[in-house]
Amino acid sequence: MVQASAWAPDELDAETRVLLSRQRVREILRELGVRPSRRLGQHFLVEPAVLFHILRASGLTPQDAVLEIGPGVGVLTGELLRRARRVVAVEVDRRLYTWLQSRFAGNARLELVMADILRVEPGTLMGEPYKVVANLPYAITSAVLRHLLEARPAPQRMVLMVQWEVARRMVAHPPEMSLLGLSVQYYARVEIVHRVPAGCFLPPPRVDSAVVALEIQPTARWEVSPERFFWIVHAGFRHPRRTLGNNLAESLGLGKEEVTRLLRDVGVAPERRPETLSLEEWAALCRSLEQERPSLQQPDAASGARNTTGGPELSQP
């Protein structure tokens, strides 16, 4: 975890500090007739120090374009506008969208979009290099994270609020590597910036959260396509408590002797469990399989059907 930085209240705008009070958030929601929805993941931040950590981790400059997802009452939005050249905020709740229109009326650097982020192509929406800074709705964290990681063009950097346990799995390493960790780290360098207690939100979620920072990296460095990489990884994790050799033989339809040879060729013992392999070892295995068995294709790819396992596994507990 990144070491926490000291902060001073005057680093936030006066209006922002007012919006971060529980009383003011309650007043706004009451005026709008909004009862926070668990389905929409509506938990409103009311802790200034957490907002500071989000902004510090974003590393925004006056030249940056930023995509914000779920701006809510605009606490983060206002601070993004103070720091970036352009802010695009996507809000699905019509009442909050209308309130944001009123609050930021006349600000030419803000573009408000009323939409479900999963139905919007981030790269097309932004149309230029961009960063993402967002307090993700927990109910759709998995889907949104995948949507952003697979976007073309992808964001340069993302600073996100996610559940604490999800954050821990995102930064996992062997011998406790997870599908989620492999999925995220294939696309980005990721680190936990700050742990956020549930009491920092109104209403509080059931679990703690974390601010995580993802620096997007070129996937070409692994020398294996995401479709093939995630197919092989899913095959290896098919039964997490079984050995890698058994999982791959069963999932790929290969003989155990051949799988054993392929694994040993890249320095991996077939008796190892899938969670003990590093991302580098998985990539080496994928490259070896592609070289040794070029005709080996995942079933959906061979039939021309839509690939359903080519992306990251981002399920949450």
Do 278 and 152 share a structural domain?
no
310: in domain:
no
Angle between helices 226-236 and 179-187 in degrees, nearest 10: 160
**For residues 122 and 146, is the Cβ–Cβ distance under 8 A?**
no
DSSP strand pairing (65-69 vs 86-91): parallel
3: in domain:
no
* Cα–Cα distance, 199 to 208 (Å, whole number): 8
Do 231 and 200 share a structural domain?
no
* Number of structural domains found in the chain: 2
For 153, the 3-state DSSP assignment is coil
The token duo for 260 is: 């054993």
State residue 175's pLDDT score.
95
Q: Which residues of 199-220 are buried (b: 16+ CB within 10 A; e: fewer)?
A: ebbbeebeebbbbbbbebeebe
**pLDDT of 165 higher than 70:** yes
pLDDT, tens digit, 9 for 90 and up, residues 250-289: 999 999 999 999 999 999 999 999 999 999 999 999 999 9
Do 100 and 49 share a structural domain?
yes
84: containing domain: 9-217
Q: Which residues of 51-65 are buried (b: 16+ CB within 10 A; e: fewer)?
A: bbbbbbbbebeeebb
- E-assigned strands of 130-288? 131-135, 157-163, 188-196, 201-202, 209-216
Last residue of a domain, which of 194, 217, 240? 217
pLDDT band of residue 6 (cuts 50, 70, 90) is low
pLDDT, tens digit, 9 for 90 and up, residues 170-227: 999 999 999 999 999 999 999 999 999 999 999 999 999 999 999 999 999 999 999 9
pLDDT, tens digit, 9 for 90 and up, residues 22-55: 999 999 999 999 988 777 778 999 999 999 999 9
pLDDT, tens digit, 9 for 90 and up, residues 74-117: 999 999 999 999 999 999 999 999 999 999 999 999 999 999 99
Last residue of a domain, which of 171, 195, 217? 217
Q: What is the mean pLDDT of residues 125-143?
A: 91
Q: What percent of the chain has pLDDT over 70?
A: 91
Do 256 and 236 share a structural domain?
yes
Do 263 and 202 share a structural domain?
no
* Cα–Cα distance, 42 to 55 (Å, whole number): 20
Last residue of a domain, which of 159, 194, 217? 217
**For residues 218 and 247, is the Cβ–Cβ distance under 8 A?**
no
Tokens 């399920």 correspond to 315
2: in domain:
no
Nearest to 275 by CA among 189, 181, 170: 181
Nearest to 213 by CA among 3, 88, 58: 58
